[in-house]
Structure 1
Amino acid sequence: MELFDVYPLLDINIVKGSGCKVWDDKGTEYLDLYGGHAVISIGHSHPHYINKVNEQLNKLGFYSNSVINTMQQKLASRLGKICGYDDYQLFLINSGAEANENALKLASFTNGRTRVLAASKAFHGRTSLAVEATDNPKIIAPINANNHVTYLPLNDIMAWKRELEKGDVCACIIECIQGVGGIRLADAGFAQKLQKACREHGAVLICDEIQCGYGRSGKFFAHQWLGIRPDIITVAKGIANGFPMGALLISPQFKPQYGQLGTTFGGNHLACSAALAVLDVMEDENLVENARETGDYLIGRLKELQKENSHITDVRGRGLMIGIELDIPHKHVREKLVYELHCFTGCASTNILRLLPPLCFTKEMADEFIIRLKKALG
């Protein structure tokens, strides 16, 4: 049997990681500003994380949600206090797509509606309704194209209000910093007016914090820069530093019913041990604050470089979620960074480099990246 060939792969086999660095099978060291697509939050192979996961694995890796799991309760309590949502409810699943799928399902259960508003350039996942809310027709199969979703320009509040006024909108789902969309930021004025309009017209406001959340923006959630409190918050990626996990943070206005939502693997003992270890390290090492300070520093350095290098047309982002827009395709720049200068970055569109390093990234590493990026841009 061969692998189903759907990934365009870099010709590199990564076998080891530590902090913000990874190594291939030939022993070459790389600076990691990709973090496995924003999944690595506290750094590769953090010793506390390894110890806690190993400790749990030696006790119990998995049992089902048919019994009490006090680790889930501990995670809910700690996460609520750390992120400022201790009055919300936590539902644990396995991935970001599953988080958005369940958020939209819960919204529809609550108001009985079926229409969703999503932003242009949105990416919310690859499962049934999540992919329909994703603004990319290439990945929406005919069986998923069910006309539930209307795409609207991010920050165009009048367009969103016009649709909400029709009275049939189930939910509005937004990334407060779009990832795949190219590090496009929602405005505070837009977000606050959208929240108000959702409440007026009985729609549920969902903030997809799967990539931009969990400290990456320099606050625990990116929407906290905008002065709003969504009805449902979805998270994944950084929640367990590489262990597959996702979650919904659900407003107290939603009343759970037995059987309403469910999952086999979600919230298992091993996943909870990973997620609790992540919170330990985030608190002990002040990683949210580090993301803000180091991110500000890196954005400043990139804007200085923009003045020197005409290939950089824009630098935008918050914390350690940064987009570098180029006047040339990113492909050759990114390949030079990886193969010649040994530095991983992400990308978006055809001309945007996307930086998503672990939250333990340092100013010294930022300086080193600037040196390598200068060489890559020639």
Structure 2
Amino acid sequence: MNLFDVYPLFDVNIVKGKGCHVWDDKGQEYLDLYGGHAVISVGHCHPHYIEKLTRQLGRLGFYSNSVVNKLQVELAERLGKACGYEDYQFFLINSGAEANENALKLASFYNGRKRVLSLSKAFHGRTSLAVEATDNPKIIAPINANGHVTYLPLNDLDAFKVELAKGDVCAVIVECIQGVGGIRLATAEFMQGVRQACDETDTVLICDEIQCGYGRSGKFFAHQHLGVKPDLITVAKGIGNGFPMGAVLISPKFTPVYGQLGTTFGGNHLACAAALAVLDIMEEEHLVENAAKVGNFLMEGIKALRLPHVVDVRGRGLMIGVELDVPYKEIRNKLLFEEHCFTGCSGTNVLRLLPPLCLGEAEAADFLKRLERVVNN
């Protein structure tokens, strides 16, 4: 049997990681400014993370959600305090797409509606309704194209008000920093206006914090830069530092009903141990604050280089887009194969920087030198 060939792969086999560095099977070290697609929040192979998972695996790896799991309760309490949403409820699943599926389902249960407003260039996942809310027709199968979603431009408040005034919108789903969309930032005016219009029409506001959340923006959640409070917040990626996990934070306006949502593997004992270890490390090492500080250092450093082909540098914290006036492919390949540095990408001309939140200023300065060599040569 062969692998189903849907991923274009770099010919690099990564076999080891530590902090913000990874190594291939030939012993070559790489600086990781990609974080496994924004998944690695506290660094590769952090000793506390390893110890917590190893200890839990020696006790119990899994049992079903038909019994009490006190690790879930502890995680909900710890996360509520860390992010400032202690009065919210918590539902655990396995991925970002699942988180968005369940958030949209909850929204529809709440107000009985079917239509969703999403953003142009949005990415919300690859499952049924999550992929329909994703503005990429290439990955929406005919069976998923059910006419539920209207895409509107980012920061076009008037367009959202017009659609919300029709009274048939179930939910608005927003990435406050679009990842796949090219590190495009929602404005405070836009988000506060959407929040008000949602309140006036009893529409549910969902903030997809799967990539931009969990400390990456320099606040725990990206929407906290914008002065809004969503009804539902979806998280995944960095929540488990690589252990598959997702969750929905649910406002008190929602009343749970037995059987309404469900999952087999969500919130299992190992996943909760991973997520608790992540919170431990984020708090102990002040990684949210570090993301803000080092992210600003990195963005200002790239701007100061005044590199050819770099036309814009944008983002918040350690979620940064470097827009080029040429396709990113050659620069990204040179960074990887000549400078041994992983970066992400978006569209055809944006480099995406999504390093672990423990990236230090010395490592950021090292990256600036590598980027300068590549772009100037």
Normalised by the size of structure 2, how large is the TM-score?
A: 0.99
Aligned-partner Cα distance in 2 for 1:331–1:67: 50
Please report how far the alpha carbon of residue 273 of structure 1 lies from its aligned counterpart in structure 2 after TM superposition: 0.2
Structure 2 residue aligned with 1:338: 336
Residues 24-68 of structure 1 deviation map (CA, whole Å, 9 limit, x = unaligned):
000000000000000000000000000000000000000000000
Please report how far the alpha carbon of residue 310 of structure 1 lies from its aligned counterpart in structure 2 after TM superposition: 2.5
Please report how far the alpha carbon of residue 376 of structure 1 lies from its aligned counterpart in structure 2 after TM superposition: 1.3
What amino acid sits opposite 1:128 in the alignment?
A: S
| Pairing 1:47-62 to 2, within 5 Å after superposition | 47-62=47-62
| Pairing 1:1-378 to 2, within 5 Å after superposition | 1-305=1-305, 307=306, 309-377=307-375, 378=377
Aligned-partner Cα distance in 2 for 1:193–1:303: 31
Aligned-partner Cα distance in 1 for 2:209–2:374: 31
Aligned-partner Cα distance in 1 for 2:4–2:340: 28
Aligned-partner Cα distance in 2 for 1:361–1:142: 42
Aligned-partner Cα distance in 1 for 2:279–2:27: 31
Aligned-partner Cα distance in 2 for 1:346–1:95: 20
Aligned-partner Cα distance in 2 for 1:204–1:302: 38
What amino acid sits opposite 2:223 in the alignment?
A: H
What amino acid sits opposite 2:252 in the alignment?
A: P
Residues 66-97 of structure 1 deviation map (CA, whole Å, 9 limit, x = unaligned):
00000000000000000000000000000000
SS of 1:58's partner is: helix
SS of 1:234's partner is: strand
SS of 1:110's partner is: helix
Aligned-partner Cα distance in 2 for 1:153–1:302: 28
Q: Percent identity?
A: 73
Normalised by the size of structure 1, how large is the TM-score?
A: 0.99
Aligned-partner Cα distance in 2 for 1:367–1:295: 11
Aligned-partner Cα distance in 2 for 1:304–1:314: 12
Aligned-partner Cα distance in 2 for 1:18–1:374: 25
Aligned-partner Cα distance in 1 for 2:374–2:205: 41
What amino acid sits opposite 1:343 in the alignment?
A: C
What amino acid sits opposite 1:84 in the alignment?
A: G
Aligned-partner Cα distance in 2 for 1:212–1:348: 15
What amino acid sits opposite 2:39 in the alignment?
A: V
What amino acid sits opposite 1:19 in the alignment?
A: G
Aligned-partner Cα distance in 1 for 2:298–2:337: 23
SS of 1:90's partner is: strand
SS of 1:85's partner is: coil
What amino acid sits opposite 2:78 in the alignment?
A: R
SS of 2:15's partner is: strand
Tell me how large the CA RMSD over aligned residues is. 0.4
Matched positions, count: 376
Aligned-partner Cα distance in 2 for 1:203–1:191: 14
Please report how far the alpha carbon of residue 202 of structure 1 lies from its aligned counterpart in structure 2 after TM superposition: 1.0
Aligned-partner Cα distance in 1 for 2:7–2:88: 37
SS of 2:59's partner is: coil
SS of 1:23's partner is: strand
Residues 214-256 of structure 1 deviation map (CA, whole Å, 9 limit, x = unaligned):
0000000000000000000000000000000000000001000
SS of 2:311's partner is: strand
Please report how far the alpha carbon of residue 154 of structure 1 lies from its aligned counterpart in structure 2 after TM superposition: 0.6
Aligned-partner Cα distance in 1 for 2:266–2:213: 19
SS of 2:91's partner is: strand
Please report how far the alpha carbon of residue 183 of structure 1 lies from its aligned counterpart in structure 2 after TM superposition: 0.1
Please report how far the alpha carbon of residue 188 of structure 1 lies from its aligned counterpart in structure 2 after TM superposition: 0.3
Please report how far the alpha carbon of residue 375 of structure 1 lies from its aligned counterpart in structure 2 after TM superposition: 1.3
Aligned-partner Cα distance in 1 for 2:260–2:350: 41
What amino acid sits opposite 2:36 in the alignment?
A: G
Q: Which runs of 5+ in 2 are unaligned?
A: none
Aligned-partner Cα distance in 2 for 1:354–1:375: 18
